[in-house]
Chains A and B, each alone.
Chain A
Amino acid sequence: MQLDDLYRRVIMDHYKNPRNRGTIDEGSVTVNLNNPTCGDRISLQLQVEDGKVSDARFTGEGCSISMSSASMMTEAVKGRTLDEAYAMAEKFSALMKGEPVEFDELEDIEALSGVNKFPARIKCATLAWNALRKGVESQGQGKPEGH
């Protein structure tokens, strides 16, 4: 069990200097999600214009993994269509299952692949992505999870 596999430099950088932390004043899609088993919580806001995410911000409290994951997700999702955003969330699920996937949108995200070796922490990493999924679904896009 190598801690460096989990706490990669890029993850700690997003934890220390979270991107897109804050709120969008008006006209945004807001999703509040928490992790009832551990108390982590996120409030994600997406500004959607012409089917595209023009801005994404988050606030919340949680561990290094959940907060860095939120930082990366908001960074990657900006400028993407809702369908692309949803596809990215699906790809993130695959990453958590240990499947080799690439994130051309933001390579930093691939650093979270190490979480896969720490089963108790997967739910930390996926919190922000589940919020993204819900946000997209609330716009009538994407598809509800099939399980």
Chain B
Amino acid sequence: MNIEEIRKQFPILHQEVNGHPLVYLDSAATSQKPRSVIEAVKRYYELDNSNVHRGVHTLGSRATEAYEGARERVARFLNAPSAEQIIFTRGTTSALNLVATGYAPSVLQEGDEIVITPMEHHSNLIPWQQAAKRSGAVLKYIPLQPDGTIALADVEKAITGRTKIVSVMYVSNVLGVINPIKEIAEIAHRHGAVMVVDGAQSTPHMRIDVQALDCDFYALSGHKMCGPTGIGALYGRRSLLENMEPIEFGGEMIDFVDLYESTWKDIPWRFEAGTPIIAGAVGLAAAIDFLEEIGLDNIDRHEKELAAYAYSKLSEIDGITIYGPREGRVGLITFNLDDVHPHDVATVLDSEGIAVRAGHHCCQPLMRWLDVTATARASFYLYNTEQDVDRLAASLLRTKEFFDHAIG
């Protein structure tokens, strides 16, 4: 894997920010886009743009082919049994909301259980809070180990015969931990519950096989995996999708409309009301092509090496706290410096051209579990290098010096 060649394909990386070459360490928030993705979207608008599934004209056919081709591309990428099991959404958030409002009400009754974890992103937490409130179901949490990992013994305890839905993030956007989804799915299924996976942070970085994971729903965001913003997907088991209610109604999703009654199209189109995110889907397909050409296994290996390097390099900094386990993590490091608020850390790093995230990372319950109000996070992707980590470490040392001096 030639990082220099890869970096050349990301135009945005080659600029100075605040007088320093940009070091982009915020890919867990959103990844940068390679030229092939930008070009695919541009080419679509310049040559093929039209509405899908309705025009008889040539552009309409081309747009439909591109859009449905993208669906097949996503299906192959996830090893889904068929393209009909891929619903395009706005992103992971809307995919999870679709499951929580379209599927959950049909199975949840008062006293039933939804099981999640305290490390969930708000997008895999609030939809379940709401689903529980609406149905009278109980929202239960699998407790975390002190290092932020999940113990299967706790999963066994949390999931019972009353559990109807288990929803867990594959990879934590804060702790970097990779959760044992396949094992949790096995326990969920043994109790007759369905397994929902928030794949926002896993899909960009590792090979995903929804059949091998044996999950029932899997949600992803395009923009975190080199694709455009505004496009994501939900994979679902066929039997579940066929019984899931649409939550948006209108054009595109209907079969027959009468004054007082209407019927829906087959899956997946019944879940895609209105003109879909065509250019986004085209961009997502191009992103998948890009990632697969490099190889997800190569990307995975590169990031894990970078994470290990960053962990040991940053650990040397006096007064740093790194959250989450040392082993078994993806390429992100969430940390705090003693006596310097993460916003101040992020501002000083930014003044040296280094982009990191600071705040609660849409994980307020996890912040409380960590007993902090906010943290700083450096997240890596295929275009990051050890030099980027070195720049980060050096800049953090200067941040400490600056604040020691300023408040000293």
A contacts, CB < 8 Å to B? 1, 3, 6-7, 9, 12, 15-16, 37-41, 61-65, 118, 120-121, 124
Contact = CB atoms under 8 A, between A and B. Distances in A.
A112 to B, nearest CB: 14
Given A1-B18, A7-B402, A12-B407, A39 B364 contact: yes
Contacts of A64: 341, 344, 407
Interface in B342-384: 342-344, 347-348, 350-351, 358-360, 364, 367, 373-374
Given A7-B344, A39-B373, 11 more contacts: A1-B351, A3-B348, A3-B351, A9-B406, A39-B364, A39-B367, A62-B343, A63-B343, A63-B344, A120-B347, A121-B343
Interface of B is mostly: helix
B146 interface: no
Nearest to A7: B406
B18 A65 contact: no
Contacts of B343: 38, 40, 62-63, 65, 121, 124
Contact of A6 (B18, B347, B358): B347
Contacts of B358: 38
A38 B359 contact: yes
A118 B347 CA distance: 8
A84 B173 CA distance: 45
B402 A3 contact: yes
Contact of A40 (B19, B351, B367, B373): B373
Nearest to A67: B341
18 contacts: A1-B351, A3-B348, A6-B347, A7-B344, A16-B407, A37-B359, A38-B374, A39-B364, A39-B373, A39-B374, A40-B343, A61-B373, A62-B343, A63-B342, A63-B343, A64-B407, A65-B343, A121-B343
A6 B406 CA distance: 11
Contacts of B348: 3
A3 to B, nearest CB: 5
User: Closest 7 interchain pairs by CB?
Assistant: A63-B341, A63-B343, A39-B360, A38-B359, A1-B18, A12-B406, A16-B407
Contacts of A63: 341-344
Contact of A41 (B351, B373, B402): B373
Interface size class of B (residues with CB under 8 A): 20 to 34
Contacts of B342: 63
A103 to B, nearest CB: 22
A64 B342 CA distance: 10
Contacts of B406: 7, 9, 12
A138 B406 CA distance: 37
A122 to B, nearest CB: 12
A120 B356 CA distance: 13
Contacts of B402: 3, 7
Contacts of A16: 407
A7 B402 CA distance: 10
B407 A39 contact: no
B360 A38 contact: yes
A40 B358 CA distance: 11
Nearest to B367: A39
A6 B350 CA distance: 13
Interface string B384-408: 0000000000000000001000110
A96 to B, nearest CB: 16
Given A3-B402, A38-B360, A121 B347 contact: yes
A62 B19 contact: no
Nearest to A121: B347
Contacts of A15: 407
A1 B341 contact: no
A16 B358 CA distance: 21
A62 B342 CA distance: 9
A64 B358 CA distance: 14
Nearest to A34: B373
A37 to B, nearest CB: 7
B21 to A, nearest CB: 15
A9 B344 CA distance: 15
A62 B364 contact: no
A6 B341 CA distance: 14
